[in-house]
Each structure stands twice: as structure tokens, then as C-alpha cells.
Amino acid sequence: MNSRPVPLIPPALRAFLVRVPLLVPIVRLLRRGPLARDRNLLITLIVLTLVLGGLAARVSMEWFSPALMIPITLVAGLQLRLPSLAKLLCAVAISIIYVAVVRGVGHIGPGLLVTFGFTAVLAALMARTRGKLGVQGLRGDVMLLELRDRLKSQSELPPLPKDWGSRVVLKQAGGSSFGGDFLVSMREGDIVDLALVDVSGKGVDAGTRALMLSGTFGGLLGSVTDFLPACNTYLHRQREAEGFVTAVHVRIDLATGEYVITSAGHPPVVKFEAGTGTWRVSTAKGVVLGVVPDLHCETDRGMLRKGDALMLYTDGLIEQPGRDIDAGLDRLLGEAERLLPSGFRDGARHLVTAMSSGHNDDCALVLIWRP
């Protein structure tokens, strides 16, 4: 048995609306349309602002201070679109003028007016930025946090067997959560692929491009035979050049310790040889990604034995204004000697801190070794 549908508007209310036809379009305006939430909030804030202005003018300036309109304006900057914010600011101006007329101009000091002006500009900037993103409130910030967490999780090496060790240290310029240095890695059986990438620029300026490339490079890693040539082809197809990208790719066989290093304009990988107790600079080299249509790289092959280690890093560790890169590499290897007494795992972050002191740049260090 089919039950009768429940009417959206009760009969009594419908009869009242019929008697007052002007209320019908108002109700429809509040209940329909994609911008209903924005309109409802705007009406609420405008009513609250006008009521606050009336109470401040007629009742008490101490209990209903006009300064309470400042948080209302900030909430509007977070939640409203820019045209709606402009309407609210008009209501705020009307309330302030009304208070000044009733209470006297002396009750609205220049300090309060400057604060209102600064708050209005700040709210307009927030509304304009969120309007471009198409999100309101704090959803845009939540999206950035999610992207940061994804990039951070992607920069973690996969679990390795107990007879292998690894350490990854990323330090972004200015203490930012985003930077131009990132790591992508994957493991399939005994084969581990990892690529350390450096995007030109630093901090937040390079972070947006690094976020995009990390997803692309992460999809290519392990899916193609020639990883860096595939990345070069992708970057070369881009219509607009947004600065250079360097990368180094290392493939390691965990069963045998054999490795292959391929580099594209990146600082050379260094290998610690436990037999001699020295660091050896890799001979792998190639052109910066995206410059030429066909990338040809000179690879470096070898084997990690017990006690050996590979160290990958970005130019933020060895480049300093007014100093030669070779001098920076020599200093890096000298500081790396201090890793041996305390071990690679504990000394990696100290190495990054020591090498990055005195300049503000993105830095990344990856260590993988056989204990």
C-alpha cells in the first residue's frame, strides 16, 4: 500500500504564504540555488551587525562594543564570497556611522577605524583567494595539509630487509612544509628503485611544482624501463619552461647488493667503501631534465658489500654563494667522516644541519647501507 507523500510545506503555513504573496519569493531565495548557504550566512551576519550597532548606539557601548564587528568581518572573509563580503562591509560601515551619530564621533576613535580598515582588507584578501580556489572556510588549508602529508608519505623509503639500513632527511627552506626537493621510491621483490629530484627554486615557490612532479615521477618509477629518459620526455613536452629539474635514479638488488646509478644534471652520488674506509664519487652523469628531447645518461654500476653505503643529496648541501661546488663536495665528504663513529642512522640529520647552516635552501639527504 502506497503512503501519501508528506508535503514539504505544512498546509497552515501554505495558507499563510498565500495570504502574504511577498514572502513566497523570499522563502524560495533562501531555500533554492547553489548559493543558498552563502546568502543565508550573509543575511545572518548583516542582521547581527545591524543589531550590534543598534545596541551599541542605544543601550551600552561597554556591553555591545563596535569592536565585536571585527570577528564578524573575519568570519565573513573565511566563509563568504567577495561580492557578499562587500555587502557585509557596507552594513558594518552603516552601523559604525550610526553609532558615531548617536553617541558622538569621539566614541569612534581613529585606532578603531584603522583596525576596521585593516580587518576589511584582510577579509577581502581571504575571500578573494578562496573564491579563486572555489572553496570556502578552511577547506583550502585542509587540502594543502593533505597534499603535504601525501608528499611526506611518498618520500619515505619502503621497508627493507633487516640486513639493510636507510635514512631520509628533508629540510625545506624557511621551515616550510613544501619545497623543491622530494623523493619517490618503490620496492618490488628484491629490487628497490629510488629517485631524488630537485626542482629549481626553493620553499613554497618550488613546492607547487614539486607536488605535481612527485605524482608524475612516482607513477613512472617502476613502470618504465628507462626512468629518467621517460621523465625527460614528459618535461620536454610541457609548453612552458618553469625552470630546470635535476634527478638521480638508483636501482638496487637487495639480494646481491648490485646497483645502477643514473643521473640527469644532479650532484654525484657518493659511495662509502668499508674495505678502504673512503668515499668514492660516482661517475654517473647526464643533462638536466627537459632541456633536450632525447636524454642520454652515463650510468655507474657497482656492488654494495657489508659495511658499504650510498649517499644521495641535493645541491642545497654543497652549494653556497661565493663558493665552488667542488669545495662544497669536499666539505660534505669531510663531514660525512664524522658519521662513522655514531653510525649512519644517527648522524644523517646532524650532517644536514651542519652542511645547511649559514644559508637558506632546500636540502635533502638519502642514505642506504648494508650494516
CATH code where residue 314 lies:
3.60.40.10
**Does some domain include residue 3?**
no
Residues 210 and 111 reside in one and the same domain? no
The residue from 90, 117, 137 where one domain ends is 137
Question: Considering the domain boundaries, does residue 1 fall inside one?
Answer: no
Total domain count for the chain? 2
At 348 the pLDDT is 80
Same domain, 22 and 105: yes
Instruction: Determine the average pLDDT of the residues in 189-208.
Output: 80
Both 153 and 121 in one domain: the answer is no
Last residue of a domain, one of 137, 171, 201: 137
Residue 4 lies in a domain: no
- DSSP string for residues in 314-357: -GGGT--TTS-HHHHHHHHHHHHTTHHHH-HHHHHHHHHHHHHT
pLDDT reported for residue 242: 63
Residue at a domain's end among 137, 159, 186? 137
In a domain, 118, yes or no: yes
Which tens digit of pLDDT belongs to each residue from 126-155?
A: 888 777 666 665 666 666 677 667 766 776
* pLDDT for the residue 341: 63
Residue 156 sits in the same domain as residue 109: no
Mean pLDDT, the chain, whole residue set: 80
Q: Do residues 192 and 339 both lie within one domain?
A: yes
Residues 167 and 108 grouped into a single domain: no
Which of 115-129, 269-283, 293-307, 314-328 is the least confident region? 314-328
The 10s digit of each residue's pLDDT in 330-360 is 888 888 887 766 677 777 888 887 777 666 6
Instruction: Name the phi and psi angles at 31, rounded to 5.
Output: -105, -15
Strand locations in 38-190, DSSP E? 165-171, 181-188
The predicted model gives 48-67 an average pLDDT of 86
Whether residue 57 is contained in a domain is answered as: yes
User: How confident is residue 300, by pLDDT bands cut at 50, 70 and 90?
Assistant: very high
Question: What pLDDT was estimated at residue 164?
Answer: 92
On whether both 87 and 193 belong to a single domain, the answer is no
DSSP letter at 268?
Answer: P
Lowest mean pLDDT among 34-48, 184-198, 296-310: 34-48
Q: Which of 162-176, 211-225, 273-287, 312-326 has the lowest mean pLDDT?
A: 312-326
Residues 77 and 109 in one domain: yes
Residues 158 and 22 placed together within one structural domain of the fold? no
Confidence of residue 6 (pLDDT cuts 50, 70, 90): very low
Mean pLDDT of 321-330: 73
* Across 82-95, average pLDDT: 89
Residue 75 and residue 24 share a domain: yes
Say if residues 250 and 269 touch (Cβ distance below 8 Å).
yes
In whole angstroms, give the CA distance from residue 218 to residue 155. Answer: 10
Percentage of the residues of the chain whose pLDDT score is greater than 90: 16
Domain hosting residue 356, numbered range: 141-370
* 126 and 146 inside one domain: no
**Residues 94 and 48 sit within 8 Å (Cβ to Cβ):** no
What is the model's pLDDT at position 137? 57
Q: Is residue 48 part of a domain?
A: yes
Residue 121, all three cell numbers: 582588507
Helix (DSSP H) and strand (DSSP E) numbers for the chain: 12, 10
Residues 252 and 350 in one domain: yes
